[in-house]
Structure 1
Amino acid sequence: MTLEPLDLDRDLGLLHAWVTHPRSAFWLMQGASVADVASEYAAIAEDPHHHAWLGRVDGEPAFLVETYDPTLSAHSPIRDLPDLRPGDLGMHVLVAPPAGDPVPGFTRRVFGAVLDHCFADPAVRRVVVEPDARNGAIRAMNTAFGFREVRTVSLTTPVEKEAVLSVLDRPADLTVDLPADIPAAEHLRPDHLARAQRHLVTKALSELSHERLLAPTSVGSGGDRWELVSPDARTRYTFRAQRLALEHWAVDPTSVERTLDGEPAPLDVQELVVELAPLLGIPDELLPTYLEELAATLASAAWKLEHSTLGVDDLLAALEGPPAAGYQVLESAMTEGHPGFLANNGRIGFGVDDHAAYSPEAGAPVRLVWVAARRDHTRLSLAADLTEQQLWKTELDEETRVGFEKRLRDLGLDPGDYLYLPVHPWQWRRKVAVTFAPDVARRDLVLLDQGPDDHQAQQSIRTFFNTSRPERHYVKTALAVQNMGFLRGLSPAYMGPTPAINDWVAGLVEADPELRASGFSVLRERAAIGYTGDAYHRLAQRAGVRSPYQKMLAALWRESPLPRLAEGERLVTMAALLHRDGDGRSFVSSLVERSGLPAREWVRRWLDAYVRPVAHCLVAHELAFMPHGENLVLVLRDAAVDRVLMKDVGEEVAVMDDQPLPPDVERIRADVPPDVRALALHTDVFDGVLRHVAAILHLDGVLDESAFWAEVRDCLVRHRDDHPELAERHAAYDLLRAEFRHSCLNRLQLRNTLQMVDITDQAESLMYAGTLANPVAPAGPAGVVDSPA
């Protein structure tokens, strides 16, 4: 990108077309003649304090820039404002209307080049802009680049308008002379922070209002303007929003404004939580922990903005390549950790360098650390079709196994006395080698070596996909970081029956004709290992004291989806359907477009592959999964969903009746009240996934939400009609009931930021906020009626 002085003789025709285009309404030259434009820019050319520039991209004219001294230029609309300082430079920018399809990220690139041009003059200390207050798009762009909105001002030249005076300070020089092992955190910049704050504040207003912790009030006559006032009346938030089915607040991020004591104030999600704390119910002693998780989530968002450059088109292109590589490109590109939780990327315990090395968005290759754990203190559980030797042979090549045995013999130890345990590298450095120092010193735990395969962290952060050998198992490791209301450890006691539970669930699924017909299947957790020879487990045995220290040395192996793919099929986690790229383009809307299918048909196929099997398991088998976005892998064919694979079965599955279970499977039996059982569909699927996807498709203009929910209803009705033998069960579950209990996720995390729920009794841990109108009821909200043919 280059900038050069505007040549009026050469550029007048181009200039006139740009400034009078309908997209340039805020340039205030609609209807101007060629002569009018020539006169305006001739006057600018004669003004020594005002300059017009033509911007080119790859040599082609692409944008117009004006820079001016705001106090001296005759054309300055703000020269009389008291807010100006020496070293201020006024700026206007106009991006040419696109000749064809818009290029994702183009305006951001232009904006960055213009600011570089402004600050190239060392005398410039601040760039000052005064966008029309109604121009939400340019205000959002300004904020994204770190402009601070100072106040609203009334301007009279060249016409009367309400403008938002905004300033951007010269970027500080972040170049520091640090040792190589001290990260400089270059991603923590004002522009990235401003974008991250706007996103998270918008999400807070949306999700906390959805959970009825906040109660915005309608203002104005249009019905889409809302305000929220803090309990002390000092802070006021105003925004535009649509209220969709399931009380989903679709808040327009560009519209969110905050005032403090009547003056414009920057958006800050930590300040929002403090200001609204009396409404949120966070215990005082846990509020700092929650603020830390929010800070870490903001840091993660800033890191993504600095390093994640892939747009939706890039992701679709990745899906056209090798299946394993495309799957992992998608996994590392996700910008949102969880659609409902605010503090969803907390990862308390990770440093800046750990984030770059091990976070899912980094997509960096990771080699797991292998430890030998004394067999007497370690339990290895295996699937019925797997032996110990088959596991090691499958996951470790012969050279590696020989090396491990040699290491043990060199220490005078018998390899037969040990089992092999994969450990997260962070966990070894920060926990095992310190917190379990006596066990290491006793040779109950022996560091062997790094494994030979590269792995990539998944969105669930402690789970790794083998990128060197994609047909090998996922490996899920214990990781003692605090994230989203839990310490992300793994309990050896909990891991013990996991393979047996997976075998039982997979057998049930494979034996069911309905599930087979839908292609629904389970990625089994085929092996699990856990070490219990430490003082923390002995304390629990003697005194019954439970602690997170009992969850720091365990792992499991889960089947890879790659061997199940047929020619032409591709993989993506269902969480990708909630993804928007840096330009706001949604992945799911782009998939619908790429498929060539009508939107309703695309949604119908997805629901038949996802909602129908989950509902069938519930109604036919009293079997409930945790089917959120990261726990399902979508199998795509021609950009449409063909079938789904369920994962993370061992920890997140429940049987809710008294059917006989094998002894090792008995753990998953849950005593769930009848009125709560259907929430496995209503809360986990409708509210946790479908609500968000429906809103994206609705806001993108791809599929109206009433049509979306009609398709969901149709899916459930078809299942009911296809299975008259389950009529009594369908009646008991009453999935089409008028309303269901409103189970709230953020309320759980706000109540206890250290342990959101008791994993052994999750139903009793739930928190409710009344009921929600069921959008698939025969006369549901948002215009949903009995589904059309």
Structure 2
Amino acid sequence: MTTSTLFARVTHLGRVTLEPLEVDRDAETLHTWVTHPRAVYWGMQAASLEEVREAYADIVADPHHDAWLGRVDGEPAFLAETYDPAHGELADAYDVLDGDIGMHVLVAPTDQPRSGFTSAVFRTVMELCFDDPRHRRVVVEPDVRNDRIAVLNAAAGFRVEREVRLAGKTAALSTCTRDQFARSEMVRGRATDGDDPRVASEHLTPEAMQVAHRFLVAKALAEFSHERLLVPEPVGHDHQVTIGDARYRFHARRYELEHWVVEPWSVTRDVGGEPAELDALAFIAEHAEVLGIPDALLPTYLEEISSTLASAAWKYVHATLSSADLVDADFQAIEAAMTEGHPAFVANNGRIGFSASEYASYAPEAGRPFAVVWLAVRRTKAHLSLGEGIDEEALYAGELDAATRARFDAELRGLDLDPDDYLLMPAHPWQWQHKLAITFAPDIARRDIVCLGHSADRYRAQQSIRTFFNADRPERHYVKTALSIQNMGFMRGLSPRYMRATPAINDWVAGLLEEDDELRNCGFGVLRERAAIGYTGDAYHRLGAPSAYTKMLAALWRESPVPQVAAGERLATMASLLHRDRDGRHLVSELIAASAVSPRDWVASYLRAYVRPVVHCLHRYELAFMPHGENLILVLQDHVPTRVLMKDIGEEIAVMGDLLLPAEVERVRAAVPDRVKPLAVLTDVFDGFLRFLAGILAEDRLLGEDEFWSLVAGTIVEHQAAHPELADAFARIDLFAAEFDHSCLNRLQLRDTRQMVDLSDQAESLIFAGTLVNPIARFAP
């Protein structure tokens, strides 16, 4: 375990931090604390130094128990312990629930007490507990005689469940859920730290930012070299890039598809021959001309880089789960733990528009549940599209409890409005506060839009930011809403007009898959977007031209994967296969180690679940998906991927041939030349995802790249052997071609850092950089 700061927050007392306890370093300090008369309830009054050392060495070695040293402004100030109640004395004392975490706190004795000190410490430890998205409830068992801790527990939202007899004491078993803590006096009282402006920057420490700069510069060197914007020169066993008087030197390995793996800790920079700090902003500014960034747009791109750095620093400070922890973690814990963002884009965590506090509330890595805002929109000025087998009443009844529906109806009737005249639409809280309540003010005043209040259910943001998973009722639909923030070169709006056909398109794709024996045998499925709603009664739509303003008020409902999981199966975003924790360990390597199969067999199973169905759809139907990591959900059994579920069907599919389509689905047809069709796999699958995975497996010495790409080729060859009737399609859409066009995502973003492509209007603008050698060409049948 690392000994650097694991968790930090700024309080009115100063900067409070938590770090893993180091027994040899901290034993004397602990001995002083636990044997002090004020620590009588800690139960170690007569312990010797060696006994304290041994006790905490045992705790540190216990996989189910952790000890943390707390500091205030760098000075040791308190001790915290967290533990799994299912593996201790409490296991026999109460019914342990999934998501429970036990906690102890000991504040250092002092002769100079400070007002609010203990509360600030206690709140920080509670936030550490809930920073792990797997933890739903904190459990404590203080001695019933400890009146001071009872007051503190009550202020934090704890409720006493009952008295239990434990070794050496009668304990007041008490529990506190996330909601209870959030509503507690400690969090919401007058003396909270929420108004302290320093809280917004508590994660921006020198250590965290230095790591963020280093990793982002390494990524920039790798991806800009991949896109041939930079040309590293070999220097002995290293490489270097020189621009003006700045020189970057680094150790790297180059794999198939011109994939560069740059070792972050090897990167050095000198300017004018003198060593200089790594600085991602300076790197971009130095290379702006080479990268092709227009002068007028350079500040915009630097802002996205700065925001990406801030996000990386936040993740570094708050990353409590290792890759090993994630092996058995649940679906949403894995989702929140992702740190990389898009693997190819350098500026990939912009979130331009979120304030610092909004980032902590709504960013997927924060993992914090929140309520969405529900609106009523006048039926004559909006449109609700519904998929097969679902009507309006069934949709709303499935998403809203009867009490919530009654509350919404009462809200409308209180304004002398008829609920039957309105459709119900969810909106992101940020969107309501920052855009809708202002930009649509006349519509609200006319009662064409009515705010009904918050949802009863809480949701959690997914990696796509504007898609939310129902945390309270996981079987209910995902909700996806317009969100007018800029991220990765896109304004994340949704077009009501474009989305009208979304449910019909999803039903058509789902029907295609259900009737195809090959796809059923692969277990390939889609999460259908069952309903879409958009408001078009505003002045911006009356202009007749699409703009960011016509994409501010729309939403859709997508199936949850939870009801589709069988016993023994679990879910994980495919993006997690590229995840590495703060210590540099990759989740995919941990999954392979935890499985009962060899790396080769693990990868073969994954490729059959992922690559084979995507290839089949391309050759049989000329149907292309956007199958990148965030758009696929893996279904794992015994830590091995066995099937996948595709999402984002309405926005990101294309039929590239003359397949007969229903009229309402015709929108997805794309007229492209035959030479472009293989790119649906060669670019989007091989270059867009598999090159990163191949590099990780090679770096971790689990599978050489030759063996990896031979498995990819073998997966395609097996499919071709099983479908001789598609021989013409195999020849015409040749996945074994010697080379293919090298399309470059960063070049696209760098050309216009404000809005690189408007996907909702299907505008296409790809920038190519010559060709790439196809890594499976040498394995052609």
TM-score grouping bracket, smaller chain normalisation: 0.7 to 0.9
**Per the alignment, do residues 309 and 624 of structure 1 end up closer, same or farther by CA in structure 2, a change over 3 Å counting?**
same
CA distance in 1, matches of 2:570, 2:432: 34
The CA deviation string for residues 490-538 of structure 1, in whole angstroms up to 9 with x for no partner, is: 1101111000000001101111110000000110000000001111111
**Residue 408 of structure 2 corresponds to residue 397 of structure 1:** no
Residue 734 of structure 1 is matched in structure 2 by: 734
Partner SS, residue 259 of structure 1: strand
Partner SS, residue 718 of structure 1: helix
For the aligned residue pairs, the C-alpha RMSD in angstroms reads 2.7
Larger Rg: 1
Partner SS, residue 184 of structure 1: helix
CA distance in 2, matches of 1:425, 1:114: 35
CA distance in 1, matches of 2:672, 2:599: 37
Q: CA deviation at 1:59?
A: 5.4
CA distance in 2, matches of 1:402, 1:764: 45
**Residue 210 of structure 2 corresponds to residue 194 of structure 1:** yes
Residue 147 of structure 1 is matched in structure 2 by: none
Partner SS, residue 344 of structure 2: coil
**Per the alignment, do residues 114 and 188 of structure 1 end up closer, same or farther by CA in structure 2, a change over 3 Å counting?**
closer
Assess if the C-alpha contact under 8 Å between 2:495 and 2:760 holds in 1.
no
**Per the alignment, do residues 113 and 590 of structure 1 end up closer, same or farther by CA in structure 2, a change over 3 Å counting?**
farther
Q: Residue type of the partner of 1:580?
A: R
Assess if the C-alpha contact under 8 Å between 1:672 and 1:763 holds in 2.
no
Residue 128 of structure 1 is matched in structure 2 by: none
Assess if the C-alpha contact under 8 Å between 1:758 and 1:765 holds in 2.
no
Partner SS, residue 728 of structure 1: helix
CA distance in 2, matches of 1:489, 1:215: 36
CA distance in 1, matches of 2:449, 2:414: 15
What is the number of equivalent residue pairs in this alignment? 618
Q: CA deviation at 1:358?
A: 0.2
Q: CA deviation at 1:601?
A: 0.4
Of 252, 259, 264, the match for 2:263: 252
**Residue 618 of structure 2 corresponds to residue 607 of structure 1:** no
Assess if the C-alpha contact under 8 Å between 1:609 and 1:644 holds in 2.
yes
**Residue 309 of structure 2 corresponds to residue 298 of structure 1:** yes
**Residue 522 of structure 2 corresponds to residue 518 of structure 1:** yes
Assess if the C-alpha contact under 8 Å between 1:670 and 1:761 holds in 2.
no
Assess if the C-alpha contact under 8 Å between 2:200 and 2:357 holds in 1.
no
Q: CA deviation at 1:115?
A: 8.5
**Per the alignment, do residues 577 and 504 of structure 1 end up closer, same or farther by CA in structure 2, a change over 3 Å counting?**
same
Q: Residue type of the partner of 1:218?
A: P
Residue 117 of structure 2 is matched in structure 1 by: none
**What does 1:586-665 correspond to in 2, within 5 Å?**
586-665=586-665
Partner SS, residue 340 of structure 2: coil
CA distance in 2, matches of 1:408, 1:761: 35
Assess if the C-alpha contact under 8 Å between 1:294 and 1:346 holds in 2.
yes
**Per the alignment, do residues 600 and 178 of structure 1 end up closer, same or farther by CA in structure 2, a change over 3 Å counting?**
closer
Of 470, 489, 509, the match for 2:493: 489
**Per the alignment, do residues 700 and 625 of structure 1 end up closer, same or farther by CA in structure 2, a change over 3 Å counting?**
same
**Residue 390 of structure 2 corresponds to residue 386 of structure 1:** yes
Normalised by the size of structure 2, how large is the TM-score? 0.76
CA distance in 2, matches of 1:182, 1:661: 57
CA distance in 1, matches of 2:442, 2:520: 50
Q: Residue type of the partner of 1:395?
A: E
CA distance in 2, matches of 1:431, 1:275: 36
Runs of 4+ in 1 over 6 A off after TM superposition: 101-104, 109-117
**Per the alignment, do residues 761 and 620 of structure 1 end up closer, same or farther by CA in structure 2, a change over 3 Å counting?**
farther
Residue 320 of structure 2 is matched in structure 1 by: 309
Residue 752 of structure 1 is matched in structure 2 by: 752
Q: Residue type of the partner of 1:203?
A: K
Assess if the C-alpha contact under 8 Å between 2:498 and 2:760 holds in 1.
no
Assess if the C-alpha contact under 8 Å between 2:494 and 2:760 holds in 1.
no
Assess if the C-alpha contact under 8 Å between 1:697 and 1:703 holds in 2.
yes
**Per the alignment, do residues 762 and 445 of structure 1 end up closer, same or farther by CA in structure 2, a change over 3 Å counting?**
closer
**Per the alignment, do residues 113 and 728 of structure 1 end up closer, same or farther by CA in structure 2, a change over 3 Å counting?**
farther
Residue 700 of structure 2 is matched in structure 1 by: 700
**Residue 24 of structure 2 corresponds to residue 56 of structure 1:** yes
**What does 1:266-305 correspond to in 2, within 5 Å?**
266-305=277-316
Q: Residue type of the partner of 2:248?
A: Y
Q: CA deviation at 1:475?
A: 0.2
Residue 226 of structure 1 is matched in structure 2 by: 239
CA distance in 1, matches of 2:219, 2:576: 18
CA distance in 2, matches of 1:111, 1:730: 62
**Per the alignment, do residues 275 and 419 of structure 1 end up closer, same or farther by CA in structure 2, a change over 3 Å counting?**
same
CA distance in 2, matches of 1:178, 1:690: 43
The CA deviation string for residues 12-31 of structure 1, in whole angstroms up to 9 with x for no partner, is: xxxxxxxxxxxxxxxxxxxx
Same amino acid, percent of matched pairs: 59
Residue 475 of structure 1 is matched in structure 2 by: 479
Assess if the C-alpha contact under 8 Å between 1:710 and 1:786 holds in 2.
no
**What does 1:412-561 correspond to in 2, within 5 Å?**
412-540=416-544, 545-561=545-561
**Residue 345 of structure 2 corresponds to residue 377 of structure 1:** no
The CA deviation string for residues 727-749 of structure 1, in whole angstroms up to 9 with x for no partner, is: 01001111011111101110110
Normalised by the size of structure 1, how large is the TM-score? 0.75
Q: Residue type of the partner of 2:622?
A: E
Gaps spanning 5+ residues in structure 2: where?
4-21, 29-56, 77-191
CA distance in 2, matches of 1:759, 1:712: 29
Shifted more, 655-664 versus 693-702: the winner is 655-664
CA distance in 1, matches of 2:366, 2:338: 10
**Residue 183 of structure 2 corresponds to residue 215 of structure 1:** no
CA distance in 1, matches of 2:384, 2:716: 41
Assess if the C-alpha contact under 8 Å between 2:748 and 2:756 holds in 1.
yes
The CA deviation string for residues 179-224 of structure 1, in whole angstroms up to 9 with x for no partner, is: 357743200111100000000000000000000011111112x4xx
**Per the alignment, do residues 190 and 181 of structure 1 end up closer, same or farther by CA in structure 2, a change over 3 Å counting?**
closer
Q: Residue type of the partner of 2:464?
A: S
Partner SS, residue 661 of structure 2: coil
Partner SS, residue 516 of structure 1: helix
CA distance in 2, matches of 1:606, 1:520: 12
**Residue 673 of structure 2 corresponds to residue 673 of structure 1:** yes
The CA deviation string for residues 690-737 of structure 1, in whole angstroms up to 9 with x for no partner, is: 000000010001111111011001001111111000001001111011
Assess if the C-alpha contact under 8 Å between 1:757 and 1:766 holds in 2.
no
CA distance in 2, matches of 1:678, 1:644: 21
The CA deviation string for residues 758-787 of structure 1, in whole angstroms up to 9 with x for no partner, is: 426758411100000010012xxxxxx569
Q: CA deviation at 1:431?
A: 0.4
Assess if the C-alpha contact under 8 Å between 2:623 and 2:654 holds in 1.
yes
**Per the alignment, do residues 261 and 116 of structure 1 end up closer, same or farther by CA in structure 2, a change over 3 Å counting?**
farther
Q: CA deviation at 1:113?
A: 13
Q: CA deviation at 1:558?
A: 0.2
Q: CA deviation at 1:349?
A: 0.3
**Residue 253 of structure 2 corresponds to residue 242 of structure 1:** yes
Shifted more, 452-461 versus 305-314: the winner is 305-314
Residue 571 of structure 2 is matched in structure 1 by: 571
Q: Residue type of the partner of 1:449?
A: G
CA distance in 2, matches of 1:281, 1:618: 34
Gaps spanning 5+ residues in structure 1: where?
4-53, 61-97, 118-175, 319-325, 779-784
The CA deviation string for residues 119-147 of structure 1, in whole angstroms up to 9 with x for no partner, is: xxxxxxxxxxxxxxxxxxxxxxxxxxxxx
Residue 685 of structure 1 is matched in structure 2 by: 685
The CA deviation string for residues 137-165 of structure 1, in whole angstroms up to 9 with x for no partner, is: xxxxxxxxxxxxxxxxxxxxxxxxxxxxx
Q: CA deviation at 1:286?
A: 1.2
**What does 1:149-228 correspond to in 2, within 5 Å?**
179-180=195-196, 183-220=199-236, 222=237, 225-228=238-241
Residue 90 of structure 2 is matched in structure 1 by: none
Assess if the C-alpha contact under 8 Å between 1:208 and 1:746 holds in 2.
yes
CA distance in 2, matches of 1:629, 1:179: 38
Q: Residue type of the partner of 1:671?
A: A
Q: Residue type of the partner of 1:708?
A: F
**Residue 337 of structure 2 corresponds to residue 333 of structure 1:** yes
Assess if the C-alpha contact under 8 Å between 2:740 and 2:771 holds in 1.
yes
**Per the alignment, do residues 340 and 528 of structure 1 end up closer, same or farther by CA in structure 2, a change over 3 Å counting?**
same
Q: CA deviation at 1:661?
A: 1.1
